[in-house]
Structure 1
């Protein structure tokens, strides 16, 4: 049991540090304030949520302890579903972005300005949250 808990803590630490560093680097590095950077920021944020949920669930399984089974299960399922959906939507959005770069290189800057990417990222999160809210 101790090994599994230590493994979970190390995994969580690496997840948070790695994705946290991505967030800090993208936010603080002006040259990364591009559509791709903002999409990676969204994925890093979703991965932080997934990492937290996975480790909490893993520790609960190992310790065979669920503080409030129904509420805890609903909240964990909700957060995990939202984060996974955000990841999927963001990767699909990144695919469209890359397609535009390849097929419309001279129009890319007008088709994908940073403010548009902000709005799309916010919509991806809001749609994901709204989709799973009825299941709470």
Structure 2
């Protein structure tokens, strides 16, 4: 049976992925400017910036598919968790290597880690979820 928490988690992932992915692909200067970063507009830099944006948009499509198709919600939660946790862990690795980022990126890390962990937890079979929360 489909649960409201799964719908909410996939909806938040889809929304976040579409917004961030679209900004990375179509307006990367705007997104990076919000964090005080000025991009080098070279073709190489823009290619490196836009490529993960398309991956993030793809996760938004997968999350939306899971939202609309009950049989696909678990794989969608796993894909969502994978991307979100990878970004969050990458930001954690950056802390000792690079120092403290701006507050906006600290918030991004918190959102990625919490939403990713929630998606991962919701993807577990019900019996494992109950054991993990006990």
TM over 0.5: no
Which band: TM-score by shorter chain?
0.3 to 0.5
The normalised TM-score by structure 1 is 0.38
The normalised TM-score by structure 2 is 0.39
Larger Rg: 1
